[in-house]
Structure formats: C-alpha cells, structure tokens
Structure 1
Amino acid sequence: MTDQAQLHQQLIDRMTIGGSLRTEPWRRAAAAVPRHEFLRGGYFRRALGSDFTAWQPIREGDPGWLEGCYTDESLVTQIAGTIVPEDIRGRIMREPTSSSTLPSLVLRMLEDLQVEDGHKVLEIGTGTGYSTAVLCARLGARNVTSIEYDPWVASRARTVLGHFGTYPTLVTGDGLHGHGAGAPYDRVIATCGVRTMPQAWIEQTRPGGLILATLCGWLGSSELARLTVHEDGTASGPVLGGAVSFMLARPHIPPPLGLLPDLDDGKERETTIGTEVLEDWSSRFVVQLAVPDAQRLTMQRDRRTEDVLVDVATGSWAAVYSEGGRRLVRQGGPEPLWDAVEEQFGSWCAAGAPTLEEFTVTVTPLGQTIRW
C-alpha cells in the first residue's frame, strides 16, 4: 500500500470510528475519491508565532503537504477573494474566502442528507470539487448539479473533476438562486452558510424533498438544519446541532461597518446579563435571533473593555461593559438592541435553556422563523 493509500484508508477509518461515516454506500464513495487530487494547488495553514491571524502556503511537494491533505481539517485554499497558495511567498494576513471542508463534516452532512439511489441532488458551493466528486461516486454524475459563485474556483474544480473523469452539471453563479433548469431536485445541500434559507431552494425541491444547510448569523454562531419541503411551498425541520460552521455565502457576508456612531451618546443603565452571552455558542445563537443585523466589535475605551453591537440596518448600537462590580449597558439609535437581547435570552432561560437540537426552523414566503 502506498503512503497516499495508507493515509486515505486511515482517514476513512477515523471517520467511521468517529461516527461521521455511517453507511457502506458512503464508505465506498469516500474510498473512491482521494482528497489530495483536489488540493494539488496547495492550501494555507495558520502561521505559528504570530500575534495576528497569519497564513502561510503549503504547496504540493512541500514537507507535510500529502499528510495535511488527509488530516480531518478544513484547509484554506483562497485568501481575500483572489489569492491562492502559489501567489504567496511568506505569510499573509487577510480573511479566508474558500476552503476544503474537513472530510468528517462533508461525510456527516452527506449521510444526514438521507439520499437514495437515483436521487437528484443540487449542491451549493462546489469549492475544490471534493464533496462534488463524493456525491458523484455515490449517485452518478448525471444526478449531481453543483453551483460555485467564484469563477476562478469553479474553473479549477471543473478541471480537477474532468481530470478525475467525473462530469456532473457544473454551474458558475449565485447559488442562492439555485439552478431552475435542473429542477425539481430530491435533495439540496449547501457547503456555505446562509443567514436565511433562500426561497429558490424551496421552490426547486420536490414536495417531500430535503434541504440541508447551515444557518449562520453575524455574531458568529451557526447550526446545521434539515428542512422538509411541503406541498404548500413551505419548509420546516429541526436544527441538527453539532456547532457546524461554514464561510458565509458571499452575498450574505456582513457589510463594512463604516463610520461608528458616537459611543459616548446614548442612555446608560444596569443590565441583568453581560457579554458572557456572546461567548457561549448556544446563547450566542439565541442572541442572534433577537438582533440578526447586528455586528460585534470589542474596544478599549476609558481604560475598560467594551463589547459593542452595531445594527447595520437601523444604526442602533449597544455598548456593554463592567465597572465597579456592576454590569452596564449604554444604548443609542432608534431600537434598544440590548433590551431585545435581554428579552430573548430571558425567554430562552425561562424555557429551561433548551439545546439547539430542540429548535425548529420554518420557512414560508413571508420569511423564516426559528423557535424552540
């Protein structure tokens, strides 16, 4: 057995033992797709010894490249929308914009998709093409349609899939609009995060079909949800849990905050909760439901740390901090943001702080609701 084959088998064994790879059809599909073929352009790793989030390229042939391809980790493949490993010598400090998702999450989601032989699947987010290839290995390329927003990423995936001998329907465009020409689909799966489930996905899924996607918020908490599409054009289903995180679909990325409001203005009062609700994954998910258009930043002001929420839709803001043993909030703008946080968090606690797996998502033409 070659080093590559051994590394591949070890990854499959780890995913099986870990429970993300649960059925024989998906084990065969995972075994048929060598991940390193989709990472020959290299990837980025976090640079050690830096006070900031810096990335350094690992290229094919570099020490550890092959081993890295078969680690159960997400590997960044693009930075700042255009920069790839071959472009960089040294380090770069910019935000990742494309990645190869950790294989255990790819296979967990494919298992959770509950496909059957002959199902037509729409994949949102082709990325490197690895998950697309696994889908094709399981269902056949004729049953797989995949959409990628970034033209360069889409072109590279098309080339690699073609080299691999796999020819699904590949579309370059905004995956939030789906691909009506191939509808209806039995299953839709998204490998990017969305703030709200797009209506187009529901319209393009047959009644009884499933949509699997990660619902995210601008405060940084997200969860996987699986919705069943109904005859009346609505969809509903449970949050599956597991603290799943994906990069947001680019049209859902928060806008730049721009000029901040005057944080010395506003009304100050004591608050029953502090910023600990923003540190815990579950409570932060709950808070996002109350202030879905808010972004968070942390600032040092007047020799204290203030956590600030700014609502980009209304201009409302709230600064939360501690002083003299008291928890304080100062708010400004048309809507008192922290009042909404306190009310939502208080209702959740009064209900016994149900786990996120007890939440249900419902989508109608009027919008999306998430309730416990």
Structure 2
Amino acid sequence: MDQYAQLLAALTEAGALGEEWRGAFERAPRSAFVPDGIWVEDSDAPSGYRLLSKAVDPVGWWAEVDSGRQVVTQLDDGRTDGPGVATSSGSMPSLVASMLRHLDATDGSTVLDIGTGTGWTAALLCRRLGDGAVTTVEVDPAVAAAAGVRLAELGLEPHRVVGDGLLGHPAGGPYDRIHSTAAVQRVPLPWIEQTRPGGVIVTPWGTPYANAGLLRLEVGERGRQSHGRFVGDVSFMWMRAQRPHAVTAPDRPPDHRGPSPLDPDLAEENVHAAFAIGLRVPGVRTLHTWQAADPSGTHRFRLSDDAGSWASVRFHDWDGADAVHQSGPRRLWDEVVAARRAWLEDGRPELTRFGLTVTATGDQHLWLDDPGNALS
C-alpha cells in the first residue's frame, strides 16, 4: 500500500473520511494537483522556505505531497521579492475531509467553491457531485490557470471563474452549499444572498488575534438571520481582501508603563483561550519579538490594532514595574487581560461552544452556546 493509500485508510479508520467521500479522494489524489515545485520550511533560508523540486528530489517531493501535512505551493502572491509568506497551498487532507463532511452535500447539491487554489477541492466535489454541480472561483489568474490545466488532465470540467471570491458568483446561484478554502474575518453578504434558504456555508473564520475557527453557517430565509457554530479548530490562509494588518514597530514612546496582572504566556495558553480572547479584542494582531543578543530577557508580546494603538508586555519579569508598555486610544493589553478573565468566568469554553449570527444586512454577532447569549 502506497503512502497516500495508507493516509486514506488511516483517515477512514479514524472516522475523518466517510465512505461517501472516500471514492472521490481515491479518484482525485492530491498529488495530481500539486505543482512540481513546492515550498518547504527551512530556517536557514532567507524567506524561511526553500524550493523542493520534483525533478531534483522526487523522493522528497512525493513524501511531502502524499503526507498528511499542508503543502505550500505559492509564496507572497507569486512575487519573487516578498518576505516569504505562504499564500496558496494544498490543504491538509484531514482538514479537507472534515470540511467536506460539515458541508453535508448530497447528490443533486450545487456547490460554490471559493478559492480554487491547486484545484484539488474542486476536483473532489466534481468526483462526488458531478462537474455541472460545481462552480469554483479563484482571484489569482496564474493559480486559476494552473488549476484548470490539472483539472482538465483528469477530465474534470467544473465551471471556473477568475474573480474576487468575496463576491461569489451570482450568475450560477442560488447554490445549495458554499465552501471556502480561505479564511475570512467577516462572512460576505453575497455568499448568504447566493445560498438557498436552508443551505450551508462552510468557511474558515478568524480574528487577527486567532485565525482558528471553522464556521458552519445555516442560511436563513430571505430577510432573516443566519446562524452558525464553530465546528472545528482550523487555520487557513486569509482571503486576500480580508488579511489582517501587519504588526509594525511602535512609532512613539509609550504613554503608559506598568506591571502586568497576567503572565503573557496565558494570553495564548491554548487555541480555545486565544480564540475567545480574539472575539473580545477586535482588530488586534500579535507578534513575538526579541533581541538576538538576549532572547529570553528581551522577549516581548506585541499587539497593535492598525488604528493608532499598540502595546507590548515582557515575558521575563512580567509583573515588574516596566513590563507593560501601551499607547494610543485603546489599552490593548488591558483588553486582553479582561478578555481572558471573561473566558475564565465563562468556564473556559472550547471554541466549538461559540457561534455567529449574520443579519440580513450583513452585521455579525458572536455568541456562546446559544444565539440569545451574545458576547458582551
């Protein structure tokens, strides 16, 4: 049994890959959609990644592609002079299987696939539902063209669109299901408007603080609210137009200094804590910084909101008099401390206890356990 077959067998045995999708995974292997050059993490490379070529190292290439790991297929939106940020990939097979299970598409369902990427998810949907049931949208023309070639090589012909996935594709709607392989901070209203009432949207959803939730949203009747719950812990690349801001160095001295009431390690204690904190500190992104000469003594947790507020807290001696620096209209570290306290008071809920309501006009409201229990 080859590596990919072993992977599918393991996913099936674990209950992650149901029989309704097993045949699609077998007839559309991920390897058929991965380019000959992929990017693997390498701490010695300037960008943090090195190129792994199938022609140069076929054994290494196959080991990556048929593994259960994510395979990075593009850096920096295709630019050659970027900092080394992964911007397109072949997703982890276990996550793809999980998302398709939550999508709950059945024979006759029509699906809008947001973020064609390599084309693999579109291929799986085609194998399961038929080409005519699948519309797939990709914002990057080069990525879309490469996916089109690979889909055609397997004889698959979904309706392919090059465009902004946030706008969906109204000409093909309404759809029974919408499936996104890129994370959003806000569910686009066009997705809801292009889904039949009672239909389902499955998308990675996150905050700048914690890109960690998989949202399954059930679309309400026209003019009514749509409700959904976070059903899993996932982290996907952001939809380009909804990428969080970069955390930059402070441009002025702090206007507040003092000790921290919280060990900064606890601000990212686990994914559930980070997710809950992120829900209560909108727009706040984080970064770890240190000086090479003294990493442990200078290690700081930096936060910013891209609107003039920033904060940082020292890990070493975090309750010392000068541990916390803050500036701007918001006291970001104070907000994080309060958000973690609220999570504790709620009983340390896992992220799957949180949910999201989207109104008919596109406003988002977060809740715990029940739509009537809105986060304060």
| Contact in 1 for aligned 2:301/2:315 (Cα 8 Å) | no
Out of 153, 156, 160, the position equivalent to 1:166 is 156
Return the alpha-carbon distance in structure 1 between the equivalents of residues 311 and 43 of structure 2. 35
Aligned to 1:59: 54
Out of 157, 168, 183, the position equivalent to 1:193 is 183
Letter in 2 for 1:71: S
1:370 to partner: Cα distance? 2.1
1:93 to partner: Cα distance? 6.4
| Contact in 2 for aligned 1:214/1:224 (Cα 8 Å) | yes
| Contact in 2 for aligned 1:35/1:70 (Cα 8 Å) | yes
Out of 325, 343, 346, the position equivalent to 1:348 is 343
Greater Cα shift, 337-346 or 143-152: 337-346
Question: Relative to 1, partners in 2 of residues 1:33 and 1:274: Cα closer, same or farther, differing over 3 Å?
Answer: same
Q: Deviations over 1:21-56 (max 9, x none)?
A: 02x221111111122221243322223666972323
Aligned to 2:100: 110
Work out whether 1:284 is the aligned partner of 2:247: no
| Contact in 2 for aligned 1:308/1:317 (Cα 8 Å) | yes
Question: Relative to 1, partners in 2 of residues 1:118 and 1:307: Cα closer, same or farther, differing over 3 Å?
Answer: same
Work out whether 1:101 is the aligned partner of 2:97: no
Return the alpha-carbon distance in structure 2 between the equivalents of residues 324 and 229 of structure 1. 49
Work out whether 1:238 is the aligned partner of 2:229: yes
| Contact in 1 for aligned 2:47/2:84 (Cα 8 Å) | no
Q: Secondary structure at the match of 1:192?
A: coil
Greater Cα shift, 246-255 or 295-304: 295-304
Normalising by structure 2, we get a TM-score of: 0.88
Work out whether 1:30 is the aligned partner of 2:25: yes
Greater Cα shift, 331-340 or 169-178: 331-340
1:325 to partner: Cα distance? 6.2
Return the alpha-carbon distance in structure 2 between the equivalents of residues 361 and 230 of structure 1. 13
Out of 166, 169, 186, the position equivalent to 1:179 is 169
Structure 1 gaps, min length 5: none
Letter in 1 for 2:40: R
Question: Relative to 1, partners in 2 of residues 1:276 and 1:51: Cα closer, same or farther, differing over 3 Å?
Answer: farther
Work out whether 1:311 is the aligned partner of 2:285: no
| Contact in 2 for aligned 1:221/1:281 (Cα 8 Å) | no
Aligned to 1:371: 367
Letter in 2 for 1:38: F
1:332 to partner: Cα distance? 1.3
Normalising by structure 1, we get a TM-score of: 0.89
Question: Relative to 1, partners in 2 of residues 1:322 and 1:128: Cα closer, same or farther, differing over 3 Å?
Answer: closer
Aligned to 2:357: 362
Letter in 2 for 1:308: R
| Contact in 2 for aligned 1:54/1:93 (Cα 8 Å) | no
1:63 to partner: Cα distance? 3.0
RMSD of aligned residue pairs (Cα, Å): 2.4
Instruction: Report the identity percentage.
Output: 35
Question: Relative to 1, partners in 2 of residues 1:60 and 1:361: Cα closer, same or farther, differing over 3 Å?
Answer: farther
Structure 2 gaps, min length 5: 369-376
| Contact in 1 for aligned 2:119/2:148 (Cα 8 Å) | yes
Return the alpha-carbon distance in structure 1 between the equivalents of residues 354 and 175 of structure 2. 26
Aligned to 2:372: none
